[in-house]
């Protein structure tokens, strides 16, 4: 930890943490500060003027990042018959029905995204206590309860990101890897910001976008000038 502290200290020394910059500059700084021995994830965090405890202020959805996340997403599909075959052909990692439900009950969850056909929801619903806390419960609003199994699997594999506001009104996501080009990271960041702006709930009053920051896994947060976002910055 001493090494990490030393490295962060050096980064902070040449960096004004209170300064706010345009989104493209924030991405550039976060990428340049990703100096760990692994390919760090570049993350965006947004503090929203909402109270997610109220149903009319919940921010939740999915967004396809144009350049993907750089992560391999394992997809599990609950389906039977032709739809199960469709899922396998589309590249799903785990496909099943009662057999897959039994594995999940045992805690053997070998997927990062869960998709189900509508007819499987009676079965999947019984797994709510296991899948729910992990954010894996299929949901029609997120496109993960669907008859278009091929489309859902393809989208998940291509870098579709789910987002959901946490208790404090914070929503965040990985928008790529430090090895991505600046243009790719910026395009992904803009796609995510646009999705959050479009998802503004009816119950949100006052300032919606309060604070935005971009960082790498091990690096400092770079504050984004919120005003520049509506100006397309």
Write out pLDDT tens, residues 133-171. 988 999 998 899 999 999 999 999 988 888 989 888 999
Which has the closest alpha carbon to 137: 164, 169, 174? 164
Are residue 128 and residue 140 in the same domain, yes or no? yes
Closest to 160 (Cα-Cα) out of 139, 143, 148: 143
State how far the Cα of 159 lies from the Cα of 119, in Å rounded to an integer. Answer: 26
DSSP state of 136: -
- What is the total count of domains within the chain? 2
Last residue within a domain, chosen from 157, 184, 218: 157
**Is 165 found in the same domain as 135?**
no
- The alpha carbon torsion through 41, 42, 48, 50 (nearest 10 deg) reads -20
- On the 0-12 / 13-18 / 19+ scale of CB atoms within 10 A, 92 is buried
Find the domain containing 225 and state its range: 17-69+160-230
Q: What is the mean pLDDT of residues 2-16?
A: 55
Structure tokens, 87: 């899922």
CA-to-CA dists, residue 102 to 80, 109, 122, angstroms: 15, 10, 14
Q: How far apart are CA 112 and CA 120, in angstroms?
A: 18
Q: Report pTM.
A: 0.81
Last-in-domain residue among 113, 135, 157: 157
Residues 141 and 92 in one domain: yes
Instruction: Spell out the alpha helix ranges (H) of 142-224.
Output: 149-157, 182-198
pLDDT tens digits, 19-43: 889 999 999 999 998 888 999 999 9
Q: Where does a domain end: 157, 190, 222?
A: 157
Contact 93, 65 (CB under 8 A): no
pLDDT of 12 reads 52
Q: Do residue 80 and residue 125 come from a single domain?
A: yes
């Amino acid at each position: 930890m001493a090494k990490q502290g030393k490295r962060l200290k050096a980064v902070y020394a040449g960096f004004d943490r209170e300064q706010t910059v345009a989104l493209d500059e924030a991405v550039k700084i976060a990428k340049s500060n990703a100096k760990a021995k692994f390919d760090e994830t570049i993350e965006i965090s947004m503090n929203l003027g909402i109270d997610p405890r109220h149903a009319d202020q919940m921010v939740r959805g999915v967004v396809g990042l144009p350049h993907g996340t750089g992560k391999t997403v394992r997809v599990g599909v609950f389906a039977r018959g032709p739809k199960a075959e469709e899922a396998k052909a589309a590249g799903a990692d785990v496909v099943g029905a009662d057999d897959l439900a039994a594995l999940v009950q045992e805690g053997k969850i070998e997927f990062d995204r869960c998709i189900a056909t509508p007819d499987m929801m009676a079965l999947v619903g019984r797994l709510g206590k296991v899948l729910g806390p992990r954010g894996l419960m299929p949901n029609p609003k997120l496109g993960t309860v669907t008859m278009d199994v091929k489309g859902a699997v393809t989208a998940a594999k291509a870098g579709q990101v789910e987002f959901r506001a946490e208790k404090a009104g914070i929503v965040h996501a990985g928008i790529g890897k430090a090895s991505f080009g600046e243009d790719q990271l910026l395009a992904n960041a803009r796609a995510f910001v646009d999705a959050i702006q479009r998802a503004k709930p009816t119950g949100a009053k006052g300032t919606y976008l309060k604070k935005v920051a971009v960082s790498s896994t091990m690096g400092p947060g770079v504050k984004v000038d919120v005003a520049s976002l509506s100006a397309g910055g």
